Amino acid sequence: MSQLFEPESAAQDPVLTTSADVFPAEVDVSSVPVTYRILVSRREAGVIIGKNGDCITQIRDGSGVKAGVSRLVEGCADRILTVTGAIENVSQALGLFARALAESQPQPQSQSQPQGSIPAYTAFPLKPLCPAPVPPNAEIASLRLMIPHALMGTLIGKQGIRIKAIQESHHVKMVASKDFLAGSTERIVEIQGPPSDISEALTVISKCLLEDWHSATGTNYYFPSKRAAPAQRPRLHADPASGAKDASELVKFPGELVGALIGKKGARIQEIRRDSGCTISIEPEDDQNGERAFALTGSPENVERALTLLYGHLERERQRRALVTSNEE
């Protein structure tokens, strides 16, 4: 589900913290705007907004950024905090939001109940990726950064050199999810540490991401939506001939919606194949029930990722058509 980048390995090799290849070249990017999307729970969104909007207004005005929280979607446990502004301002604002979240955490009543009444999220994408601090520490905060998959390489660096150096230099932990957020090509990178250290680390992270910003073009962004019932998703079947290392799945989609899954000149399905690493074959014609068969083959993780992307696009197309219909009425 996630990948932890251990800072200890960076400490063993002094080259990681002294090489000019670790971080972007020092150039003036003070006037370059940057935007972060942070995944938050409903409770966290309430903390960030504050009573009568006091918290978000104070941070927004004090740091000179634009900031807002996405609307509440019934049936969905998460929302998105979006912060835009100059790098230093955004880093400052996110550090303040992280501090507000850390200070809002209920503290355990005793050592025998280390987690006390602290809310626990047990499923992706709200499930914590970083190990909980031991003992519990009110000075430690976490933010779930939503990073386009295409930018993960520039953030991690060759053989993990960059992400390890960021962790060691700024005393934070960073864990990346292996799974994409539903219907998108974004992943979660959770950053954990003292709010002031998170703020400093984000300044460096921003410069790293700006170094390759054009790669994010074409990203499918995640938007909270009511979760589909589990029964609507097919179960994966292992392929015995491949030693149970591969999985295959045959799924069918309504013929009238297949065009949205394939995209203009096949662009969307090619993107899904590339981003998921899954082989996808499509029947040329609909069956007698008006459905088109898609055959998916690859590792269980790749097939699951392809299914997530396909069902995400399907749901968005249905929502788009429903909106068009309601506008026409």
* Residues 205 and 271 occupy one common structural domain: no
Would 223 be classed as within a structural domain?
no
Which pLDDT value is given to residue 110?
Answer: 46
* Residues 85 and 208 occupy one common structural domain: yes
Q: Which residues, listed in sequence order, are joined to residue 248 by a DSSP beta bridge?
A: 237, 297
Backbone angles phi, psi at 209, to 5 degrees: -70, -35
Coil, strand or helix at 60: helix
- Residue carrying structure tokens 């950053």: 191
State in Å, rounded, how far the first CA of the chain is from the last one: 44
How many domains does the chain contain in total?
A: 2
Would 224 be classed as within a structural domain?
no
Question: Which residue stretches of the chain are H helix?
Answer: 8-11, 15-18, 42-49, 54-63, 87-104, 152-156, 161-170, 195-211, 258-262, 267-276, 300-328
Would 322 be classed as within a structural domain?
yes
* Residues 252 and 206 occupy one common structural domain: no
Domain boundary (216, 248, 275) is at: 216
- Residue carrying structure tokens 């430690």: 140
Q: Name the nearest CA neighbour of 4 among 118, 130, 102.
A: 130
Which pLDDT value is given to residue 173?
Answer: 96
Q: Name the nearest CA neighbour of 278 among 310, 241, 242.
A: 310
Q: What string of pLDDT tens digits covers the 329 residues of the chain? A: 455 554 333 334 443 344 445 776 666 666 789 999 999 999 999 999 999 999 999 999 999 999 999 998 887 889 999 999 999 999 999 999 999 999 987 655 444 444 434 456 788 899 999 988 877 777 899 999 999 999 999 999 888 899 999 999 999 999 999 888 887 889 999 999 999 999 999 999 999 999 888 888 888 888 887 754 443 455 555 544 545 467 888 889 899 999 999 998 899 999 999 998 999 999 989 888 889 999 999 888 888 888 888 988 887 888 777 777 655 55
Which pLDDT value is given to residue 259?
Answer: 92
Q: Is residue 195 within 8 Å of 138, Cβ to Cβ?
A: no
* Residues 173 and 84 occupy one common structural domain: yes
Domain that holds residue 24: 2-216
Which pLDDT value is given to residue 214?
Answer: 86
Which pLDDT value is given to residue 176?
Answer: 93
pTM: 0.65
How many angstroms separate the CA atoms of 133 and 153, rounded?
Answer: 28
Would 225 be classed as within a structural domain?
no
Which pLDDT value is given to residue 16?
Answer: 39
* Residues 195 and 296 occupy one common structural domain: no
CA angle 18/187/322 to nearest 5° reads: 155
* Residues 212 and 242 occupy one common structural domain: no
**Which CATH number do you get for residue 308?**
3.30.1370.10
Q: Which residues, listed in sequence order, are joined to residue 249 by a DSSP beta bridge?
A: 296
**Which CATH number do you get for residue 104?**
3.30.310.210
Domain boundary (216, 239, 267) is at: 216
Domain boundary (216, 246, 277) is at: 216
Distance (Å) of CA 207 to CA 6, 29, 204, 284, 286: 21, 8, 5, 46, 48
* Residues 154 and 9 occupy one common structural domain: yes
SS (H, E, C) 184-196: CCEEEEEEEECHH
Would 33 be classed as within a structural domain?
yes
Q: Name the nearest CA neighbour of 283 among 315, 241, 255.
A: 255
Would 221 be classed as within a structural domain?
no
Would 266 be classed as within a structural domain?
yes
* Residues 170 and 266 occupy one common structural domain: no
Which pLDDT value is given to residue 11?
Answer: 37
* Residues 177 and 96 occupy one common structural domain: yes
Would 109 be classed as within a structural domain?
yes
Q: Is residue 133 within 8 Å of 141, Cβ to Cβ?
A: no
* Residues 211 and 235 occupy one common structural domain: no
Which pLDDT value is given to residue 25?
Answer: 63
* Residues 95 and 211 occupy one common structural domain: yes
How many angstroms separate the CA atoms of 314 and 312, rounded?
Answer: 5
* Residues 142 and 252 occupy one common structural domain: no
